[in-house]
Amino acid sequence: MSDPQAYTVGWICAITAEFVAARAFLDEEHTGPRQVAQHDNNSYVLGKIGSHNVVVATLPDGQYGTASAAAVARDMLHSFPNVRIGLMVGIGGGAPSQKHDIRLGDVVVSSRRDGKGGVFQYDFGKTIQNCKFQETGFLNQPPALLRTALATLKATYEMKGHRLADDVNAKLEKIKKRKKYTRPNPASDRLYKRDIVHPSSSPHGCDVECGDDAACLIARHERDEEDDDPAIHYGLIASGNQLMRDARVRDTLAAERDVLCFEMEAAGLMNHFPCLVIRGVCDYSDSHKNKEWQGFAAMMAAAYAKDLLCQIAPNSVEAEKPMHEVLDSIQDILFEVQLGVQKLKLGKTKDLSVACKPHFVVPFPSDPDFVDRPDIWTWIQNQYAGPENRFALVGLGRFGYVPLTAMEDLYSQIDSKSQMAIQSAHQVHAASPETSIFWVRGSTKATFEESYRSIADALALPRRHELGVNVLALVRDWLQRKDVSPWLMIADNVDDIEILFSKMDKQNDASMPIASYLPKSNNGKILFTSRSWDAAERLTGNGSMILRVPTMDEAQALLLLQKKLGPHIDKAVALRLIRTLNHIPLAVNQAAAYIYRQSPQVTVQSYLDEFERSEKSKGTLLRSDRGDIRRYDGVSNSIVVTWQMSFKQIKREQPRAANLLSLMSYFYTQNIPKYMLHNYNSRFVDEDKGDDDDDEYDDNNNGDFKDDLHVLHDYSLISMTATSGFYEMHPLVQFCTKVWISKFGHPKRWKRLFLQSASQHFPSGVFETWEQCQTLMPHVEPLLHEAPLEESDRLEWSELLTNMSWYFVMLGEYSRAEAFVIEAVAIRMGSLGQEHPSTLTSMANLASTYRNQGRWKEAEEIEAVEGGGRATGAVRIYWMQGRLEEAEKLEVQVMETRKTKLGADHPSTLTSMASLACIWQSQDRWVDAIKLMRDCLHLRQQCLGVDHPDTVSSLSYLEEWESALA
């Protein structure tokens, strides 16, 4: 078997034809690798070209695009750590123009422009002012060694021409099915005019469907003996997130950026595999796609790649650093560039040094009277000072801590493992103030993302407010820098393996799991808390880095009860009670709260007697959901009983409060917003009516609402958070409440009320509402995946889906937005009809989602029906299709209408101003475009603020245009 250390050239291809071509041009083929890295599923062929040992990898069958390419590159560098230069070799779509006579079978080689890499990464899914494709980066340049070899080969071809076609013919002797790889008849090389579209539903090829009518084709001269045929082109390759099939869009980008070729994989190699990209042209990036030229185009690209490698001496390759070492510093460099850009955009309005300072982002204050657990704290200190970067506390909620202060109502809702983590955060911060501490709620995807956004805001990271920016990656990449202050991240309640390790967006192939956004750095540590040993082991990678938090001992449980009720209680009876409660702090806390509120009528002894009687009836609840009960390892019996006793008393004493608890149980357990709870006593005229007298109360009585919150707080069923206006509930209290509701309490009622509250309070996705959207996401996320059965409920659901889709569009999560708004359109179309304003709103959101993905035809079809947003949507579609006069005329109408109806400084008017400026710039009306964009920027700074994404976007345009004009 071959030694992976011996291979210094990495060659990546995407499809079978490219893989076959690569193998054909190996001078010799070696046996497979002796071993590969764990979890590396790549398929490799090893061999030699000239004096170079080459490893060739291909993407998994049927998996194309940036995400797959990135995964293949990362795994290759793990398994072949000595790879020093990289090639991406295969096929692409040409972008012929008057300037570049590109034909099928030609080769395009990525070559730098203006000091940038030769691959321009654009994104159909991200637009600025909905006007143009957004440049999202340039592929890292290949090593100087490859660029020098390229220049040498280019000069050689200029002097002597090339013999690549002859080389291909010679290699075809190696391939049995050589017909697929030979050069097709030149007559099949047809370049259709851009308005000639091949019907997607047609089963016929272009020769039948589109024909050879000269009126449909662009006339080109025949190449003569003076011309290279096929020709080699050097310049910019555009790499996007979906296949380019639109000739108008192709021509727009070719004209603006001088793009020569389009492909889908190279952008995925940014920051993973700085390489030279070589593409054989197999089509013209339009609707007239076929596979006839793919084999020959792949062979031509491989032939060029071999010629290039033969220009390089082996000792020159050995002088290069291994690629994985080069990549270690790339994230630092990228972030320095981002900081520099942000400084240009914001000037003195932002103190960007704040990100480099230590930060303490923990939402819980320290408890100065906390009874320390020396054994646990010593273990944490040892792991924090040790060589490993990840360690974990595992335990059931509420084992082993003693809350002893006025803050105990807050801490009584926090797990023991979490409480230890909180205290550790404050102790590390006190001992090492130069260390940043970050708290991450890891129980759901929504809370994880919300926590990362809070960190990004605290650090004032550049780009965090830009539309479509991946904030998770932004925070991770910052913390992986070598020059940031030391840091400790506490990822709390990371219990669910499915949430941690499945893709965040299952409909998006490029989506990554949450675990991939946990930073890896020698400069930082991560402390996990979890109920799941399996989750902790996968996250730490080492069982020895996990501590199982032991239960509270008897002395601590007794001390907790005495602190709640006073030292005068009968110690013997108190010990009997805490033993009956299994030393579980939550159960002790609830029992103490019940006794305190009902005293002097209730004593410890009488509560113990009542508990033993109630325990006989707990089986009804336990049988309701035995699977969930087992998650708590059998300790929930005492909690069920103490909860049951408290809940029955509340039902007798203040039934409104029981209703409030029932509604709250449908929220996520942390940060429950007070403003969403006021409808807890709303009446329902349905099958649930008549079960209780509870819903006779006035749901708008604010005094009653405050009283009911006070009752639940007194019984330790809820607690106030450190943030005013928000409450928390322990997961076991939530569990017991929902089990009772499912058995006795009419769950349809509370689900409906929760849905009504969510649809009423979740805002549209405009920038000003992002903070509220982030806060509500953990609560409403479970509603998104289960359609209600009742029509009235489905209409409420469609309102929530529509607003959620808007928010996801603003975040750049277009596949999630599309799935939700399609559901909303279907519901509203069926229930309200096509012309209803709510239906039209959802349709407008769907059209926006399509536009942001570059799906112009689908967007235009929706807007033709929707009508209301047709004008603004049509402007964007006309612009992207190169119909600039139509776009300008319509945008001027839209802008003037908005000025009249909304005002000159309304955000929608300013959007039209920015859009019109972009159109003028595309028409080379630079002076007019700059003046209009400058006016737009001035108004946006006044009306929206300097940090608003629209303001930053206008400033970016203005700087780019003024620089280009200069």
Q: Which of 486-490, 590-594, 757-761 has the lowest mean pLDDT?
A: 590-594
Classify residue 365: in a domain, yes or no: yes
Q: How confident is the model at residue 368 (pLDDT cuts 50, 70, 90)?
A: low
- Other beta carbons less than 10 A from residue 195's beta carbon: 9
Q: Report pLDDT digits (tens) over 488-525.
A: 999 998 888 888 887 655 554 445 788 889 998 888 99
Mean pLDDT of 170-198: 84
Q: How confident is the model at residue 851 (pLDDT cuts 50, 70, 90)?
A: confident
Whether residues 455 and 542 share a domain: the answer is yes
Please determine, for residue 606, whether its predicted confidence score (pLDDT) is greater than 50.
yes
Q: Which residue has the tokens 């023991």?
A: 416
Q: Report pLDDT digits (tens) over 663-673.
A: 999 999 888 99
Mean pLDDT of 792-813: 86
Please determine, for residue 324, whether its predicted confidence score (pLDDT) is greater than 80.
no
φ, ψ for residue 53 (rounded to 5)?
-85, 125
Share of the chain above pLDDT 90, in %: 20
Residue 451 confidence (pLDDT)? 92
Mean pLDDT of 224-253: 84
* Of 621 and 199, more confident: 199
CA 817 to chain centre: 13
What does the mean pLDDT of the chain come to? 79
Q: How confident is the model at residue 65 (pLDDT cuts 50, 70, 90)?
A: low
Residue 587 confidence (pLDDT)? 76
Mean pLDDT of 368-396: 81
Whether residues 252 and 351 share a domain: the answer is no
Indicate which CATH number applies to the domain containing 932: 1.25.40.10
Cβ distance 754 to 667 under 8 Å?
Answer: yes
Could you tell me the residue range of the domain that residue 493 belongs to?
344-548
Q: Is 121 helix (H, G, I), strand (E, B) or coil?
A: strand
Mean pLDDT of 81-93: 91
Classify residue 598: in a domain, yes or no: yes
- Other beta carbons less than 10 A from residue 98's beta carbon: 6
Number of domains in the chain: 4
Residue 62 confidence (pLDDT)? 56
Whether residues 544 and 564 share a domain: the answer is no
Distance in angstroms (rounded) separating the CA atoms of residues 308 and 141: 16
Q: Report pLDDT digits (tens) over 898-922.
A: 788 778 888 778 888 888 998 898 8
Is the preceding omega at residue 747 within 30 degrees of 0, hence cis? no
Indicate the pTM of the whole model.
0.49
Cβ distance 145 to 308 under 8 Å?
Answer: no
Supply the DSSP symbol for 94. E
Q: How confident is the model at residue 637 (pLDDT cuts 50, 70, 90)?
A: low
Whether residues 523 and 577 share a domain: the answer is no
Residue 865 confidence (pLDDT)? 58
Mean pLDDT of 741-756: 85
Cβ distance 420 to 395 under 8 Å?
Answer: no
Residue 157 confidence (pLDDT)? 92
Classify residue 24: in a domain, yes or no: yes
Mean pLDDT of 281-297: 88
Last residue of a domain, one of 527, 548, 569: 548
Residue 501 confidence (pLDDT)? 81
Whether residues 596 and 706 share a domain: the answer is yes
- Other beta carbons less than 10 A from residue 962's beta carbon: 13
Distance in angstroms (rounded) separating the CA atoms of residues 956 and 954: 5
Distance in angstroms (rounded) separating the CA atoms of residues 555 and 574: 11
φ, ψ for residue 91 (rounded to 5)?
-110, 160
Mean pLDDT of 170-188: 84
Distance in angstroms (rounded) separating the CA atoms of residues 250 and 255: 9
Indicate which CATH number applies to the domain containing 298: 3.40.50.1580
Distance in angstroms (rounded) separating the CA atoms of residues 104 and 106: 6
Smallest CA-to-CA distance from 887 within 855, 916, 926, 844 is with 916
Whether residues 510 and 561 share a domain: the answer is no
Residue 351 confidence (pLDDT)? 43
Whether residues 721 and 788 share a domain: the answer is no
Classify residue 758: in a domain, yes or no: no
Residue 345 confidence (pLDDT)? 42
Q: How confident is the model at residue 376 (pLDDT cuts 50, 70, 90)?
A: confident
Mean pLDDT of 124-130: 37
Mean pLDDT of 930-935: 92
Indicate which CATH number applies to the domain containing 459: 3.40.50
Residue 613 confidence (pLDDT)? 72
Mean pLDDT of 14-37: 90
Distance in angstroms (rounded) separating the CA atoms of residues 360 and 383: 20
Please determine, for residue 472, whether its predicted confidence score (pLDDT) is greater than 80.
yes
Last residue of a domain, one of 328, 361, 388: 328
Q: Is 188 helix (H, G, I), strand (E, B) or coil?
A: helix
Please determine, for residue 198, whether its predicted confidence score (pLDDT) is greater than 90.
no
Extract the tokens encoding 398: 């509420």
Mean pLDDT of 274-284: 91
Distance in angstroms (rounded) separating the CA atoms of residues 917 and 934: 9
- Other beta carbons less than 10 A from residue 576's beta carbon: 14
- Other beta carbons less than 10 A from residue 256's beta carbon: 12
Q: Which of 244-253, 308-317, 449-458 has the lowest mean pLDDT?
A: 244-253
Classify residue 40: in a domain, yes or no: yes
Mean pLDDT of 141-169: 88
Residues 6 or more apart whose Cβ sits within 8 Å of residue 768:
none
Whether residues 277 and 361 share a domain: the answer is no
Smallest CA-to-CA distance from 917 within 950, 946, 943, 942 is with 950
Q: Report pLDDT digits (tens) over 416-444.
A: 677 788 888 998 988 899 999 999 998 88
Extract the tokens encoding 820: 């939700």
Supply the DSSP symbol for 120. E
Whether residues 790 and 693 share a domain: the answer is no
Distance in angstroms (rounded) separating the CA atoms of residues 323 and 833: 59
Residue 283 confidence (pLDDT)? 92
**DSSP notation for 633-685:** TTTHHHHHHHHHHHHHHHHHH-HHHHHHHHHHTTS-SSSEEGGG-TTTT----
Q: How confident is the model at residue 61 (pLDDT cuts 50, 70, 90)?
A: low
Whether residues 379 and 487 share a domain: the answer is yes
Classify residue 292: in a domain, yes or no: yes
Mean pLDDT of 649-669: 88
Classify residue 759: in a domain, yes or no: no
One-letter amino acid at 304 equals: Y
Distance in angstroms (rounded) separating the CA atoms of residues 557 and 579: 9
Q: How confident is the model at residue 932 (pLDDT cuts 50, 70, 90)?
A: very high
Whether residues 714 and 785 share a domain: the answer is no
CA 392 to chain centre: 25
Q: How confident is the model at residue 56 (pLDDT cuts 50, 70, 90)?
A: very high
Cβ distance 174 to 302 under 8 Å?
Answer: no
Q: Is 706 helix (H, G, I), strand (E, B) or coil?
A: helix
864-873 core/surface letters (b: 16 or more CB in 10 A; e: else): eebeebbebb
Distance in angstroms (rounded) separating the CA atoms of residues 230 and 297: 10
Last residue of a domain, one of 528, 548, 568: 548
Classify residue 935: in a domain, yes or no: yes
> E strand or H helix at 45, and its extent?
strand 43-49
- The beta strand positions in 689-845, using DSSP E, are 719-720, 726-728
Q: How confident is the model at residue 701 (pLDDT cuts 50, 70, 90)?
A: low
Please determine, for residue 743, whether its predicted confidence score (pLDDT) is greater than 90.
no
Whether residues 513 and 625 share a domain: the answer is no
